[in-house]
Structure 1
Amino acid sequence: MNAPSHDLDLVLAQKVLDAQPFSRLVGARITAFGDGGATLEVDLREELQQQNGFAHGGVLSYAADNALTFAAGTALGAAVLTAGFSIQYVRPAKGRTLVARASVVHAGRRQAVVRCDLLTVDGEGGETLCAVAQGTVLSANG
């Protein structure tokens, strides 16, 4: 029996993520991919925290950048590059897991505008919004 194409897309997306040495360093994983969206998750171990015990802002920015780009890839194809993004921190990120959920707002032939919500998940599965990002992703074939 053949696996659904969504599963194949998710498997390929994880392989692409695993090819990034920094993504392997932070332990990132893709948990959803397709239909204009992507979700990236990072377990918030001590090494990814700043001095007050919150996830470092650079970890949130990393997660937003990659989730934005992967989501855009579902609309533009695999060869994409982040042109730029902004991130607004809503509250300190504290929890077990960081979840970056990105979705394409608009896609043309050569670029996409993508939004990403960054949430932390606690031990009971409760989610707390900690940042919002928006960016523009370009097709590298363009």
Structure 2
Amino acid sequence: MGDETADLARAQRVLAEQPFSVLLGTRITECGDGSATLEIDVREELCQQHGFLHGGVVSYAADNALTFAAGSVSAGGVLTAGFSIDYVRPAVGTILRAHARVINAGRSRIICRCDLSTVDHDGAERLCAVTQGAISVVETPTR
């Protein structure tokens, strides 16, 4: 078992280095021991024409949560190899929360699942999408 406080601090530093994540205002609230939770405040500019959070934002949150969960159990760097997403209902609320967890960790590939929910003004969560993804373990890439 790792040091979850150190894992979270490291994940927060990595997230802060992702310009797109900073643009969206993404927060990582949990990371370690095979799980990760990301949150994004739902804002008008992130919604589509019907007022629902755009599916691309939901998909981004899943992708990033999957890789952070995988990264918490990997000694190497991680990159998304692929994932599938099923939208359960339109994402309506004040916060999007993506909670991912490792299902199986191999040396070169890690399989994860992510549940995405919206949180309303009263704090009630409502599932809006589910994903499953494969994450490749790679040598730490350099810029």
TM over 0.5: yes
User: 2:7, 2:72 within 8 Å by CA — same for their partners in 1?
Assistant: no
Residues 1:90 and 2:98 aligned together: no
Report the more deviating stretch, 70-79 or 101-110.
70-79
* TM-score, normalisation: structure 2: 0.94
- What whole-Å deviation, never above 9, does each CA across 1:43-92 have from its counterpart, x for those lacking one? 00111100111000000000000000000001123510000001000000
Match of 1:126 among 124, 127, 135: 124
Cα distance in structure 1, aligned partners of 2:130 and 2:10: 26
Matches within 5 A, 1:1-142: 5-77=3-75, 79-141=77-139
* TM-score, normalisation: structure 1: 0.94
User: 2:71, 2:77 within 8 Å by CA — same for their partners in 1?
Assistant: yes
Task: Report the secondary structure of 2:14's partner residue.
Answer: helix
User: 1:76, 1:111 within 8 Å by CA — same for their partners in 2?
Assistant: no
Count of residue correspondences: 139
Q: Which runs of 5+ in 1 are unaligned?
A: none
Q: Which runs of 5+ in 2 are unaligned?
A: none
User: 2:76, 2:139 within 8 Å by CA — same for their partners in 1?
Assistant: no
Could you tell me which amino acid in structure 1 is paired with residue 111 of structure 2?
Answer: V
Kindly report structure 1 stretches of 4+ aligned residues shifted beyond 4 Å.
Answer: none
Give percent identity, aligned residues only. 60
Could you tell me which amino acid in structure 2 is paired with residue 72 of structure 1?
Answer: A
Cα RMSD between the aligned structures? 1.4
